[in-house]
Amino acid sequence: MTDDRTYGAEFFRDWLIAAAAAVDREADRLTELDSAIGDADHGANLKRGFAAVTAVLEKEPPATPGAVLVAAGRQLISTVGGASGPLYGTLLRRTGKALGEAERVSRPELAGALAGAVAAVAQLGGAQPGDKTMLDALAPAAEALGTSFAAAREAAEAGALATVPLRARKGRASYLGERSVGHQDPGATSSALLFAALAEVAG
């Protein structure tokens, strides 16, 4: 079966606003996870960042998918205090830049743009999948998005769950060494929320 659907600026705005709602709903859980292996601010960090994203997208909705993502990425970089702000900001900005000026994009085009952005996040943070970071959810999700939105959601969720037995090699959790084992990574968990929101708006 061929899938020739394309997605415009409104879809991307709906995605990020749905992601903001999910982050808001799950903020306490994200902070709880970060209190086990970090500094207990991941929920608050992302809640603040995504509230700023929602505000800017509702006030002045950009006209193309790329512009929506670049504007959202910029908000995250400037409003999220923690390590996750520049990383998520880079993810969205790089995806947006790769989409260029296109009025509408297909799912495979989005998957390609996201894969490049995930590589940029890996480079910025010096991390790889397996290091117990957001990349453990982002990398498999971007790849699975080549198949479907639902596959991407499932891959992100599985990737987040798979961080539990890992030992953290990057970020604050790495300071704990072996004691990071047995806890789910907060950033991988929030990444799964982003892909769940994407699958939700895609229907």
**Residues lying near Mg ion in the complex (CB under 5 A):** 34, 38-39, 41-42, 82
Answer yes or no whether residue 71 interacts with ligand ADP by CB under 6 A. no
Count, in order, helices (H) and strands (E) of the chain: 8, 2
Answer yes or no whether residue 65 interacts with ligand ADP by CB under 6 A. no
63 φ/ψ angles, rounded to the nearest 5 degrees: -90, -15
Footprint of ligand ADP on residues 154-183 (CB under 6 A)? 170-172
Answer yes or no whether residue 39 interacts with ligand ADP by CB under 6 A. yes
Give Cβ neighbours of residue 76 (< 8 Å, ≥ 6 apart).
49, 50, 52, 53, 85, 88, 89, 92
Binding span for ligand ADP by CB under 6 A among 18-26, 89-97, 149-157, 185-193: 185-193
Interface with ligand ADP (CB under 6 A), residue from 11, 13, 42, 76:
42
Binding partner at 48 among Mg ion, ligand ADP, none, C-beta below 5 to 8 Å by kind: none
Query: CA-CA distance, 31 to 40, in Å (whole number)?
Result: 5
Interface with ligand ADP (CB under 6 A), residue from 14, 45, 62, 112:
45
- CA distances in angstroms from 160 to 12, 55, 111, 155, listed in the order given: 23, 28, 19, 9
Answer yes or no whether residue 26 interacts with ligand ADP by CB under 6 A. no
Shortest approach of Mg ion to residue 24 CB, angstroms?
A: 17
Q: By CB neighbour count within 10 A (0-12 exposed, 13-18 middle, 19+ buried), where does 28 fall?
A: exposed
Binding partner at 69 among ligand ADP, Mg ion, none, C-beta below 5 to 8 Å by kind: none
Answer yes or no whether residue 89 interacts with ligand ADP by CB under 6 A. no
Instruction: Dump strand ranges (E) for the chain.
Output: 6-7, 105-106
Answer yes or no whether residue 108 interacts with ligand ADP by CB under 6 A. no
Which is nearer to ligand ADP, 52 or 105 (by Cβ)? 52
Looking at residue 173, the DSSP 8-state letter turns out to be G
Q: Tell me which residue of 5, 6, 202 sits closest to 102, measured CA to CA.
A: 6
Which is nearer to ligand ADP, 66 or 187 (by Cβ)? 187
Binding partner at 134 among ligand ADP, Mg ion, none, C-beta below 5 to 8 Å by kind: ligand ADP
